[in-house]
Chains A and B, each alone.
Chain A
């Protein structure tokens, strides 16, 4: 089988598996969030944290809970890192630098998992398991909760409340993430991923040097790292590490896991608003954008440099031989289309256009299918903006799912839409304008620019993957990227919840022949078009001086 055919088979089998799984999982998640009964374990947790599980929150209360929970988590994670040498299971590692500890704490709480450290040499078992792994669950559950709150805004009528954040958080963790992650971890262990706390071992390398390795509970962390679209690996080289991702089969599982929940959420959305066709429409938009993105990257990578470089293996630069060009490309596409940021190859080594496409995936707001929860609410915001312009063209005040998109709604959606471009572009420009920023580039010219653009895009979009080629563990980058991650996560969340609040208050407008249908191919095509055009218009100048300047010759 040719590499291209093998790659196509790999990609097609993934898409098929997702197509089979999204309905049952989406329906299950719908039942999780719509249910009214609490398990005994959950009731115990509510009592412990002092929450009345049946008390509903208004949007502002919901938002305050998200923020309070997140700030507390950041402080906790920061403390754990700074104090790890005084605690147990530190493996003898010292306290993490303040700037790096801030960056890492924000990174994991915001579901970004940008890692400016090397896991093996900076974080002990305690930080890894009680800090980072816990946040891998909770940050994903928080994203799910916000998405569910927005969908409730569409589904509810004349309601002041959006549900209870703590209940949504606990249910998402216990009923959705933990069980799937458990099964996935077993599969990964079966596939050869390690799961142990046993000491160190040392061996002699090919060059005769001594190398020490500390095994870790990799499989458990790996499962939630992908499932929760987190991306923060136990080891520095992330999913390229043979103990994190030993075979093509585990590679397949990991890609599947990172796409699984985001691709199933449109189904949950459809069920919650009582019209599964709306869910299919949103899923179709995601699928079309994803397939286009995957296609461009595959085309760029498989065709890189022509026959000779391919034959001599030049195209394999930065890839693991056990995955190859095509499967690595698929992992790279999936990780940037979601907000995962796990990597099994060095994106820096991709062709200019292939790497540019990865940046563009994130710049579009990571909506195809996006992060756990974040992808759905990002896509719904795009649908709202599309409905606004298209709705005018049918001669009515625009409405989506029976809710009018008026002044307040479009204000919130527009602000949401502003956040990512403002952070990415302002961050990149600041770094490019300062000597401190430029000095971290390991390449010059457009490629160096792409490295910085990639870093700020990854942080603002809460992706967390790195292009590599940028010495990002400096006070400047740790601080500024940390700020991008925090604003890139919480500003949109507050805006989304405010939007949900104003939608929930409305009485629905009944559907008639004069209503813009939002479940047809026409609308799907329109959202795809609006997403691509707005994304391209916003970022073309920056992309032109980076990937396009390098790639167009």
Chain B
């Protein structure tokens, strides 16, 4: 039983859509466990939702009556397999739902009844009432301290705390939540590990994030998506055509029989036409049962694949839209480049060696815990072999921390003062110390800025040593990813607050198709509208409150779980891991979902060819011996031919359950190549496989009683 929380941490970050996620294969145990559910689904009131399988059920019931009235081995064998066909279809859906149920169970554990300390007056943080979490309303303020469970979804309005969100994300490392900024959202059911925060409740009672997650993974309010509805219409039309084709065959068959009075009645054809059992068998074999049985499982599994990657889609519609996306808006920072800039070069002024500069830069950064500071130390070590020293080693050093006022940091040690920081601040400090920085420093700083980097000036009292070049580092493999996107026909646009020069440099390095520099939330929204006006579907990620309008406008808006409630509310997906690169995987999952539907529909229709070759001669070769030439599979007897087709029709459903759940293999490539491959596999394969399958089944069952 997969009891672990949604998934093991860190699995999906490098995961690809074509890697079967979390047990894509179905083990027999899973099928057995789903059996009770599958039997419950036989209720006609529920079957009605699936017209194709409903017809099979009605047919099965009808043949049961016929078999009771006029029992024979053959009739009962058909009855058995028709019922199995319905059960197998329900099994597919039940197995798909079963995986969601396991996840829902772990989520329910997180939704324990808790109590909350609700402030009587938001201005007074000392007086509160203890109330049940269910009584909280939007706008209430609650206090949560270390060791307590956050009682409801909300935003931190005061304080900072580390929070264990593993119950929801599966990520065991605690995260920081603080008031203001884009990391203010807390989720009900998570546990505060340290400190104390005031939370403003943003959820309506009973409509928490966890509640919605449970509903989603259980598929409780699963609605058919537009594309699923369209496909259902086509399947219904095909079903009607085959119903007409078989029903109208009856007068023709009666005439054929009467025109050949010498031919004795058979199990398939009597003076009253084709027998009911055979007629129902033909209908069931012809109507698209394979895709009809698997369609809803494919949809559920598609949502499930997203959950495996820790993404929650608020609607199936969004997953489908992901497959249609033609423009991806990607934030530069965190998505295309590593979250922070890194030291990329030490550029000394004349008269200073690189080693000298590196030493000073390292010294000034030892106590700097920002990622930029760390990167300077690491760069100095890797490039110049300078040993990393712990700040504690320099016992009598006086560390000067970075502040917003001074905009520099550094150290005073052994009478030496070293600073590094923003150019203007450090230059002023040098001048104040009696130094006269030359124009050379200005040129270096401007040059680095122009190339898209960030310059940090390093100086001693009265003397500038040189400049550290902080660079944006494009994540590894991004260029290949964007090339792939281009082959799939998807345009990538990088969004950044940088100036156009910097933006272009990074855009070129990363290989995106376009960029939006100095982007404001309004620019972003305008860009999305413009793309949509051109008929394109847009996907984006966002986390801040000011991203909310753009998230709401985009067709696929993925909000980061670390983001604000407003962002999460606006988007139609939430990434629990807050990994912006995942947008690309989401698109692939959306495509895979549609491809799986199309492939199995094609397979289902292509199967019918072989079934005709089995059943038509079985029905009519007695009256028109020439039709036996259609029996190209040389099936043993009319009975075994018909039963083989019915058995194949049922077994193929079970055989394809793993494929429906896993999705067909998807490799990013052009539409023409994808189509070629899938047509070959599922179109041509769909024609050939049943010929072989029916023949093999016939070889086995011809020895059953009543088959000759």
Contact = CB atoms under 8 A, between A and B. Distances in A.
A529 interface: yes
A395 B672 contact: no
25 contacts: A388-B230, A392-B231, A392-B601, A393-B599, A410-B230, A410-B233, A414-B234, A418-B237, A428-B252, A429-B248, A432-B255, A446-B256, A513-B671, A522-B675, A522-B676, A533-B605, A533-B609, A537-B245, A537-B612, A538-B242, A540-B616, A545-B249, A545-B253, A549-B256, A552-B629
Interface of B: 226-227, 229-231, 233-234, 236-237, 240-242, 244-256, 259, 286, 320, 323-324, 326, 486-491, 533-536, 590-592, 594-595, 597-599, 601-602, 605-606, 608-609, 612, 616, 620, 623-624, 626-627, 629-630, 666, 670-672, 674-676, 678-679, 682-683
Given A397-B320, A540-B245, A553-B626, 19 more contacts: A393-B675, A393-B679, A394-B674, A410-B234, A414-B233, A432-B254, A433-B254, A512-B490, A514-B489, A515-B671, A522-B676, A533-B605, A536-B609, A541-B246, A541-B616, A544-B627, A544-B630, A548-B626, A549-B620
A390 B675 contact: yes
Contacts of A551: 626
A387 to B, nearest CB: 11
B535 A402 contact: yes
Interface string A431-463: 011000010000011100100000000000000
A407 B252 contact: no
Given A393-B595, A541-B616, A553-B626, A421 B241 contact: yes
A393 B674 contact: yes
B244 A426 contact: yes
Contacts of A407: 226, 229-230, 233
Interface string A474-508: 00000000000000000000000000000000011
A385 B234 contact: yes
Given A388-B234, A445-B259, A526-B679, A418 B606 contact: no
Contact of A397 (B240, B245, B324): B324
Nearest to B674: A394
Contacts of B679: 390, 393, 522, 526
B284 to A, nearest CB: 14
B535 A510 contact: yes
B535 A509 contact: yes
A428 B251 CA distance: 9
Which of A430, A433, A444 has the most CB atoms of chain B within a 10 A radius of its CB?
Answer: A433
A440 to B, nearest CB: 13
B489 A513 contact: yes
Nearest to B591: A395
Contacts of B627: 544, 548-549, 552
Nearest to A549: B624
A425 interface: yes
Contact of A392 (B536, B594, B630): B594
A438 B255 CA distance: 9
A69 interface: no
B266 to A, nearest CB: 15
A508 B657 CA distance: 36
A227 interface: no
B527 to A, nearest CB: 16
Given A526-B679, A537-B609, A508 B629 contact: no
A396 B535 CA distance: 14
Contacts of B326: 509-510, 512, 514
B100 to A, nearest CB: 23
A252 interface: no
Nearest to B597: A392
Given A389-B601, A445-B259, A425 B670 contact: no
A508 B535 contact: yes
Given A410-B233, A429-B248, A513 B226 contact: no
A184 B597 CA distance: 51
Which of A385, A433, A513, A516 has the most CB atoms of chain B within a 10 A radius of its CB?
Answer: A513
A541 B245 contact: yes
A537 B286 contact: yes
A406 B317 CA distance: 13
A438 B252 CA distance: 11
Which of B252, B489, B536, B629 has the most CB atoms of chain A within a 10 A radius of its CB?
Answer: B252
A405 interface: yes
Contacts of B599: 392-393
A507 B256 CA distance: 53
B260 to A, nearest CB: 8
Contact of B591 (A396, A410, A418, A508): A396
Nearest to A543: B616
Return the 5 tightest CB-CB contacts between A and B, nearest first: A392-B598, A514-B489, A395-B591, A512-B489, A414-B237
A539 B616 CA distance: 12
A422 B237 CA distance: 11
Contacts of B608: 537
Contacts of A418: 237, 240-241
A415 interface: yes
A507 B240 CA distance: 32
B562 to A, nearest CB: 30
A414 B233 CA distance: 8
Nearest to A552: B626
A28 interface: no
A391 B598 contact: yes
Contacts of A516: 671-672, 675
Interface in A512-536: 512-517, 520, 522, 526, 529, 533-534, 536
A421 B608 CA distance: 17
B241 A507 contact: no
A66 B653 CA distance: 47
B230 A393 contact: no
Given A395-B590, A542-B249, A513 B606 contact: no
A411 interface: yes
B11 to A, nearest CB: 24
Nearest to A516: B671
B244 A422 contact: yes
A508 B237 CA distance: 27
B323 A396 contact: yes
A76 B108 CA distance: 74
B624 A421 contact: no
Nearest to A540: B612
Interface in A170-198: none
A417 interface: yes
A285 to B, nearest CB: 16
Contacts of B256: 446, 449, 545, 549
Interface in A350-406: 385, 388-397, 402, 405-406
B602 A393 contact: yes
Contact of B237 (A409, A417, A445, A549): A417
Given A397-B320, A432-B255, A513 B486 contact: yes
